[in-house]
Amino acid sequence: MERWDVVVVGGGPAGAACAAAARQADPAARVLVLDRAHFPRDKVCGDGIAPEAFDVLEGLGIDRAVLTAGYPAVERLRLRGPGGASVERAMHRPAHVVPRVVLDERLLTAALTSGAEFRRHTVRRLDVHPTHVDVDGVLEATVVVGADGAESVVRRMAGIPRNRPTRTAIAIRGYAPEPAQGTGVQLITTTAQRWPAYAWSFPLGDGTANVGYGELVSSGITRGGLLAGLERLLPGVAPVGVKGHRLPLSNGRPRQPDGRLLLAGDAASLINPLTGEGIFYAVLSGMLAGRAAVRGATAGAAYRRALRARLGRHLAHSSLAAGLSRWPRLMDAAFRAAGQDQRIFDDVVHLGLADGRLTARTLAAAVRALR
Ligand SMILES: Cc1cc2nc3c(=O)[nH]c(=O)nc-3n(C[C@H](O)[C@H](O)[C@H](O)COP(=O)(O)OP(=O)(O)OC[C@H]3O[C@@H](n4cnc5c(N)ncnc54)[C@H](O)[C@@H]3O)c2cc1C
C-alpha cells in the first residue's frame, strides 16, 4: 500500500495551511492533500478575511498580495446592535473580501508549491493502527489531519460527535448589488428579533457584495426563515447563488485527542461564536497541526498543547463574550462604547475576528454605557 508521512483530508484554508506547515517543518516529509472536490470549488462563506489570517500564511511563505490580487482592501466596519446602537469606524488594519472560489484555489496552489501533493479522493473510512492510519484501504499515513470542514468524516472516525445545536450556527449567503445600508464598508447588523442572529454585507470592490444571514441551529430556523431574516435586516437585497452551510462554533469545540488523528479548522469547531469568522482559526490551527503532524505518534498531544498555548486564552474570552452577548442590551452598550473610543472598537474587532481578549476597558466601558 502507498505510504505517506502526513495525509491531510480537505484542501480548504485549514488543509492548505497544514500541508505547507508540515513541509516547512520537515522538508523531507511526504505530504498528500486529499479533497473530494476538484479545485476551483465554491465554499459557502461570507468571504471576509481578517488581516491576521494573512499574517499566519505569510509565515508559511504564502504572499498576501497573490491571495488578494484584484480585490481591494476594505478599511471600514459598521456594526449595528440588536437594539439599534450603531458604530462605524476604520479598522486597525483593513480586511479583504475574496470569494472563496478564488481564494481557496490560490491558497491551495501556493501551499502545493511547498512540495505537498494533491489528489482528488473522498475519504470515507479510517482505521487507526499502532503504527499508522489506513485510509480507505488504499493509503497508509503516519498521521492524518482532518481539515474536512463542518461535516468532518475524520472527526466522526475519531469518535467525536458533532457540536450541540446551541453551539452550531447555520447561515445562508449569496451575491447581490451592494445594499444602500452599507456601501464600501463591511456591515454586520443584528436584530433583537430571533436573537442571537445577524446579517452581513461584505463588499467585493466591484459594486457587488457577499450578503448573508445566520442563526443558531437550536432556533429551529428553516431555509425560508433564513431568507426572511436576510430580507428583514437588509431590505430589498436580492441575492443570487444563495446556499446554506453549518458553522461549528468554538464554544462547543471538542478536546483534541492524543495520537495520529488531528482536527483543524471547522472540523475542530474553531469558528468564532461572536461573528462566525473561521478562516483565521482554520489557517492558524492548520499551521499548528501541520507542524505537529511530522512528529508521528505524539502528534495529537503536541498539537493540543500548541493550540492551547496559541489560542487558549482567546477561546476562553470569546466563549465568555458569546455568553454575555446573549444579553442584547450589553451588545448595544458595547457598540455605543466602541463608538466613543477607537481603542474599544479595535478590541471588539480583534476579539471577533482574530485572537483578541475581552479587555477590562471594553467591559468597563460597556457597563458604563449600559447605565
Ligand atoms: C454562511 C457562512 C459565512 C461565513 N463567513 C465567514 C467570513 O466572512 N469570514 C470567515 O473567516 N469565515 C466565515 N465563515 C466560516 C468559514 O467559511 C470556515 O470557518 C472555513 O471555511 C473553514 O475552513 P476549513 O478549511 O476548516 O474547511 P472548509 O473550507 O469547509 O474546507 C473543507 C474541505 O474538505 C473537503 N472535504 C470534506 N469532506 C471530505 C471528505 N470526506 N474527503 C475529502 N475531502 C473532503 C471539502 O471539499 C473542502 O474543500 C462562514 C461560514 C458560513 C457557513
Nearest CA to ligand 1 atom 10: 277
Domains contained in the chain, number: 3
Name every residue whose Cβ is closer than 8 Å to that of residue 301 and which is 6 or more positions away in sequence: 258, 259
Mutate to test the pocket of ligand 1, among 7, 33, 35 (most ligand atoms within 8 A of CB): 35
Give per-residue pLDDT as tens, 135-194: 999 999 999 999 999 999 999 999 999 999 999 999 999 999 999 877 889 999 998 888
Residue nearest to atom 19 of ligand 1 (CA): 278
DSSP 65: H
Identify which of 55, 56, 136, 148 to mutate to test ligand 1's pocket (most ligand atoms within 8 A of the CB): 148
Whether 89 is in a domain gets the answer no
Assess if residue 340 is contained within a domain: yes
Ligand 1 mutation target, pool 124, 242, 246, 279, most atoms within 8 A of CB: 279
Q: Among residues of the chain, what percentage have pLDDT more than 90?
A: 95
Does residue 23 register a pLDDT over 80? yes
User: Mutation test of ligand 1: which of 32, 33, 36 has the most ligand atoms closer than 8 Å to its C-beta?
Assistant: 36
pLDDT, residue 182, reads 77
- The number of beta carbons lying within 10 Å of the beta carbon of residue 285 is 32
Residue nearest to atom 16 of ligand 1 (CA): 278
pLDDT at 282 over 90: yes
Query: Looking at ligand 1, which residue's alpha carbon is closest to its atom 5?
Result: 46
- Ligand 1, closest atom to CA 150? 30
**What local confidence, expressed as pLDDT, does residue 175 receive?**
98
CB-based contact 117:267 (threshold 8 Å): no
In a domain? residue 298? yes
Grid coordinates in use for 145?
A: 489531519
List the grid coordinates of 33. 492533500
Cell numbers at residue 220, please? Answer: 429551529
Do the beta carbons of residue 80 and residue 95 sit within 8 Å? no
Q: How far is the CA of 128 from the centre of ligand 1 (A)?
A: 25
Same domain, residue pair 138 and 241: no
Ligand 1 midpoint to CA 84 (Å): 31
Mean pLDDT over each residue of the chain, to the nearest integer: 96
pLDDT over threshold 90, residue 302: yes
Residue 114 CB partners (closer than 8 Å, separation 6+): 19, 20, 23, 24, 60, 61
Calculate how far, in angstroms, residue 227's C-alpha sits from the geometric centre of ligand 1.
21
Do the domain assignments include residue 301? yes
CA dihedral over 86, 89, 93, 98, signed as positive or negative: positive
Same domain, 174 and 59: no
Query: What is residue 371's predicted lDDT score, i.e. its pLDDT?
Result: 80
Of 248, 268, 294, the residue at which a domain comes to its end is 248
CA nearest neighbour of 265 among 274, 253, 273? 253
Res 22: pLDDT: 98
Residues 148 and 182 in one domain: no
Is residue 264 domain-shared with residue 225, that is, in the same domain?
A: no
- Alpha carbons 302 and 294: distance in angstroms, whole number: 10
Nearest CA, atom 8, ligand 1: 46
Q: Are residue 68 and residue 151 in the same domain, yes or no?
A: yes
pLDDT at 279: 98
Does residue 88 sit within a domain? no
Q: How far is the CA of 111 from the centre of ligand 1 (A)?
A: 17
- Which residues contact residue 69 at a Cβ distance below 8 angstroms, ignoring those fewer than 6 apart? none
Query: Could you tell me whether strands 117-120 and 31-35 are parallel, antiparallel, or unpaired per DSSP bridges?
Result: parallel
- Show which of 248, 277, 299 is a domain's final residue: 248
Residue matched to cell numbers 489528489: 119
Query: Strand pairing partners for 173?
Result: 212, 243
The tens digit of pLDDT for each residue in 193-216 reads: 888 899 999 999 999 999 999 999
The three grid cell numbers given for residue 111, joined into one nine-digit string: 501551499
Phi and psi, residue 13, nearest 5°: -55, -40
What distance in angstroms lies between residue 330's CA and the mean position of ligand 1's atoms?
Answer: 30
What pLDDT, on the 0 to 100 scale, is given for residue 83?
Answer: 93
Instruction: Look at residue 223 and tell me if it is in a domain.
Output: yes
Do 301 and 207 reside in the same domain of the chain?
no
- pLDDT score recorded for residue 27: 98
pLDDT reported for residue 15:
98
Same domain, 156 and 128: yes
Domain for residue 90, yes or no?
no
Contact 154, 263 (CB under 8 A): yes
- pLDDT, one tens digit per residue, over 232-265 is 999 999 999 999 999 999 999 999 999 999 999 9
Question: Do residues 108 and 36 both lie within one domain?
Answer: yes
**Residue 315, pLDDT above cutoff 80:** yes
Selection from 250, 309, 300 nearest residue 144 by Cα: 300
Q: What is the pLDDT of residue 257?
A: 96
Give residue 195's pLDDT: 86
Of all atoms in ligand 1, which is nearest to the CA of residue 122? 42
Letter for the amino acid at 194?
Answer: R
Q: When comparing pLDDT for 1 and 287, which is higher?
A: 287
* Ligand 1 atom with least separation from CA of 41: 49
Same structural domain for residues 267 and 227?
A: no
Range of the domain at 329: 324-370
52 & 139 share domain: yes
The reply to whether 304 and 342 lie within a common domain is: no
- Using the mean position of ligand 1's atoms as its centre, give its distance from the Cα of residue 260 in Å: 22
Does residue 262 lie within any of the structural domains?
yes
- Closest residue to atom 29 of ligand 1, CA basis: 12
- Around ligand 1, the residues with Cβ closer than 6 Å are 9-15, 34-37, 43-48, 122-123, 147-149, 153, 171, 173, 212, 245, 247, 265-267, 271, 276-279, 282
Closest C-alpha to 216, from 270, 278, 171: 171
Nearest to 210, CA basis, from 5, 11, 49, 18: 49
CA 14 to ligand 1 centroid distance, Å: 8
pLDDT in tens, 75-129: 999 999 999 999 999 999 999 999 999 999 999 999 999 999 999 999 999 999 9
pLDDT in the model for residue 270: 98
